[in-house]
Structure 1
Amino acid sequence: MVSEINELQRCKAVIEDKLGWGPADSWQTADFENLSELILNETGVSLSTSTLRRIWGRTEYHHLPSGTTLNTLARFAGAGDWRAFVKQNRVVVTEPDEELPLVVTSKNIRSWKKVAWIASAVVTVILVSMVAFDKGEPQLEKSAYTFDSRPVTRGIPNSVIFTYDATASPTDSVFIQQSWDDTRRVLVDKNLHKHTSVYYEPGSYKAKLVIGDQIVQEHKLLVGTDGWSGLIDQRKMPVYLKKEEFLRADGIGTSTKTIEQKNIALQPEPPLIKYFNVGNFEPVALSDFSFLTEIKNEYNEGAAACQLTYISLLTDDAPIVIPLSVKGCVSDLYLMSVDDYLSGKKADLSALGVDFSDWVRVSCAASGGKIRYSINDRQAFEFPVPNRPIKILGLAFGFRGTGSVRNISLQSGGKPVFEAL
């Protein structure tokens, strides 16, 4: 265990030197986001920003990363996999009185303090670390664990009561994770059976019971809304809008005056305003649906010049996310169609650059095994429908600053399921 921690520290140092971004202690959230994208580009494996922050000590977590994560880090550091990295970073044994440099494959590695080792001790440490890695974490019998949940009310915020049985765990490292985001992983007592968590946003989540670094049980959890819900995203807890503050006779939207009255500044960083309607209509099969709305971003002052906006169809799987901005900012957009993902850094998303001085008509529909996306009645993108049953459970809209939505329509098999304003 100790040797693997040491090797992980070395691997991080190699990566830091490769990046040349300065001390990792000074890295910001954007640096971890950039690192995540660089790792994906180079290895083909996605390590989330939250995982990277945990590895670099920004989030408290007392366990080694999974084997997949270690292999990915090692590949980004220049080795074939984690085992190869450990071997390549071995200590070189010379005469007992000589200093022993650390040999690494990556060029220009930062200077390490030279450490004197007794040859036999070095060999022992290397062998122990290799055996520990080869052995791996034993696979747990999932049937020995149970896990369920129940929201206490309808609407947000909403507490969820988790019921679990993890008494079979060989370790005290038992966690409940609220969703895909492993920063929402909480240590629980393996001998107890109840835990509660607050969900501040609605949506479809996949809650997980985790032993060590193994997911032993997981299930889908829907946190719905009571009709429409609106909020202003904030770091610790959202500021919730009253319905009369955003539901209008001609659509959905709030004013800058309402935001300022809640003591939230619009500059230098405009807040993200979100609107949700989740769990209030019959689930719609993704294989045969059509969706249409009109949307407008009404704030472009200062740092809101890009007028970043998104529309999301929330499913019991991954979501559909349609981003919009002014034409000059499409490089910062990310389009997601359940399993398919396009970054404006690597793809032409110019069709998602719009003129928000007038209403923008956005639609998507599935037929013939394809999901087609259109902006102002012109098809922009097409992706395959995933080959598994997926249902649309809710809608979400977001504006950096303020914006409005009107004429919302969701149909299934050509029949209306949900219409608003």
Structure 2
Amino acid sequence: MVSELSELQRCKGLIEQRLDWGPADTWQTTDFENLSELILNETGVSLSTSTLRRIWGRVEYNHLPSTTTLNTLARFAGAGDWRAFVKQNKAVTVEPEQQPGAVREQKGTQSWKRLAWIATAAVVVILASMLAFDKGEPQLEKNAYTFTSQSVTKGIPNSVIFTYDASASPTDSVFIQQSWDDSKRVLVDKNSHKHTSIYYEPGAYQAKLLIGAQVVQQHKLVIGTAGWAALIDRPKMPVYLKKEEFLRKDGMGADITVIGQKNISLQPEPPMIKYFNVGNFEPVPLDNFSFSTEIRHDYNEGAAACQLTYISLLTDDTPIVIPLSSKGCVSDLNLLSVDSYVSGKKADLSALGVDFTDWVSVSCLASGGKIRYAINGQHAFEFPVPSRPIRVLGIAFGFRGAGSVRNVSLRTGGKTVFEAL
């Protein structure tokens, strides 16, 4: 029991590093709601805000979470499941006094309150050097460093070549990070100038060059698609679909036969099927756009009874995520409209519960400083348009099980920018 609790503490520490939201004891309710949304989008499993609050000690609870919860946390922390996560830590023995404190930068201050249980001796040495460097050291001169990137192709998976100059670094702890995800952070040679990484999903990423725990350079990186792309989400690497396996004359969607041919079972845990179209149209300003489509969830057997579905407008900032489900499952939905977030646990999201026996029409329109969402022609929600400039770069769909899409349209200023299916 003590060992398992220690492993849970290590898992929480890695998740906190990945999020980089500052000390967990300062997190607000909205932070736990956002974490629940991130976990759902990445793992397909919904962990409630109350569950996450118990795990992070906001509510007195001295027992281990369920196996499903542990597996989900481990997946979000970068492991295949809880057993694999624990096994990684047992691969190396570290004396307690050698385990360094987790380092996190928050508004120029350091947070030393949690231990980062490290999976390998190499990472322990790396973090120890980061700790020694960051403690009491002044901020680095960012102009002394350069950092650019170039993808090798258009499509997924896609390798990106990073070109960097970190020769001015006072330490060997130089890292390149693919995105906001700390688990995608890699140690590089400060005296070299090239590093490559593989991106398995399209989208807009924030690549970073770090010296110790300090970000010295960062830039936006868009991984596009060659037209429509589809994948079946898996823990280690997605299973990619050929265009003829999901593109049809009357729309788009991989049926359960195609999924079965990939030796992927639909039960007891249906996979998440994702469709993307990124970087194939001129970026559309978020304060002047309209989007519409029709979708249908095609599988409701067993654990897919909720028919969980989402539509996402991928931007160069936070995305728009419109979730849908069967009517009885709206409590598990979370709506994200860039800076506005609504949890089905605390709000009435019944407008997002639909009957998938027929096509469902979904649209959103920005006008008068508001983004207005409609389901089957009926007004559902509206949220303010952020004041900062944000552009729509791509479109994505996700189905827990199997689903279909047709009649996709994106417009700006009365002009059609993208139309398909």
- TM-score by length of structure 2 reads 0.74
- Alignment partner of 1:65 is 2:99: no
2:152 alignment counterpart: 152
Task: Please give the alpha-carbon distance, in whole angstroms, between the structure 1 residues aligned to 2:299 and 2:111.
Answer: 41
Cα gap change, 1:305 to 1:374, in 2 (>3 Å): same
2:183 alignment counterpart: 183
2:399 alignment counterpart: 399
| Partner SS for 2:345 | coil
Q: Does the aligned pair in 1 maintain the 2:202–2:276 contact within 8 Å?
A: yes
What is the Cα deviation at residue 25 of structure 1? 2.3
Q: Does the aligned pair in 2 maintain the 1:315–1:392 contact within 8 Å?
A: yes
Q: Does the aligned pair in 2 maintain the 1:63–1:212 contact within 8 Å?
A: no
| Partner SS for 2:387 | coil
Task: Please give the alpha-carbon distance, in whole angstroms, between the structure 2 residues aligned to 1:28 and 1:301.
Answer: 36
Percent identity reads 67
What is the Cα deviation at residue 165 of structure 1? 0.6
| Partner SS for 1:164 | strand
Bigger drift between 134-143 and 40-49 goes to 40-49
Cα gap change, 1:386 to 1:26, in 2 (>3 Å): closer
- Alignment partner of 1:23 is 2:23: no
- Alignment partner of 1:362 is 2:362: yes
- Alignment partner of 1:259 is 2:246: no
Runs of 4+ in 1 over 6 A off after TM superposition: 27-39, 45-52, 57-63, 69-74, 132-135
Cα gap change, 1:399 to 1:344, in 2 (>3 Å): same
Structure 2 counterpart of 1:153, which letter? Answer: T
> After superposition, what is the alpha-carbon deviation per residue over 1:87-112, rounded to whole angstroms, capped at 9, x for unaligned?
xxxxxxxxxxxxxxxxxxxxxxxxxx
Task: Please give the alpha-carbon distance, in whole angstroms, between the structure 2 residues aligned to 1:168 and 1:63.
Answer: 26
- TM-score by length of structure 1 reads 0.74
2:193 alignment counterpart: 193
| Partner SS for 1:23 | helix
Task: Please give the alpha-carbon distance, in whole angstroms, between the structure 2 residues aligned to 1:43 and 1:309.
Answer: 23
Aligned pairs for 1:313-392 (under 5 A) are 313-392=313-392
Structure 2 counterpart of 1:68, which letter? Answer: Q
Cα root mean square deviation, aligned: 3.6
**Unpaired segments ≥5 residues, structure 1:** 1-15, 75-81, 86-131
| Partner SS for 2:258 | helix
What is the Cα deviation at residue 137 of structure 1? 4.1
| Partner SS for 1:295 | strand
**Unpaired segments ≥5 residues, structure 2:** 40-72, 79-84, 90-98, 115-131
> After superposition, what is the alpha-carbon deviation per residue over 1:162-207, rounded to whole angstroms, capped at 9, x for unaligned?
0001111111111111111111111111111100001111111111
Task: Please give the alpha-carbon distance, in whole angstroms, between the structure 2 residues aligned to 1:246 and 1:338.
Answer: 29
2:296 alignment counterpart: 296
2:70 alignment counterpart: none
Return the index of the structure with the highest Cα Rg: 1
Task: Please give the alpha-carbon distance, in whole angstroms, between the structure 2 residues aligned to 1:43 and 1:365.
Answer: 26
Task: Please give the alpha-carbon distance, in whole angstroms, between the structure 2 residues aligned to 1:70 and 1:346.
Answer: 34
Cα gap change, 1:136 to 1:307, in 2 (>3 Å): farther
| Partner SS for 2:234 | coil
What is the Cα deviation at residue 64 of structure 1? 2.6
Structure 2 counterpart of 1:176, which letter? Answer: I
How many residues in Structure 1 have an aligned counterpart in Structure 2?
347
> After superposition, what is the alpha-carbon deviation per residue over 1:143-178, rounded to whole angstroms, capped at 9, x for unaligned?
111000000011111100000011111111111111
| Partner SS for 2:215 | strand
Task: Please give the alpha-carbon distance, in whole angstroms, between the structure 2 residues aligned to 1:62 and 1:238.
Answer: 34
> After superposition, what is the alpha-carbon deviation per residue over 1:326-376, rounded to whole angstroms, capped at 9, x for unaligned?
122112111111111122222222211111111111000101111111111
Task: Please give the alpha-carbon distance, in whole angstroms, between the structure 2 residues aligned to 1:231 and 1:324.
Answer: 20
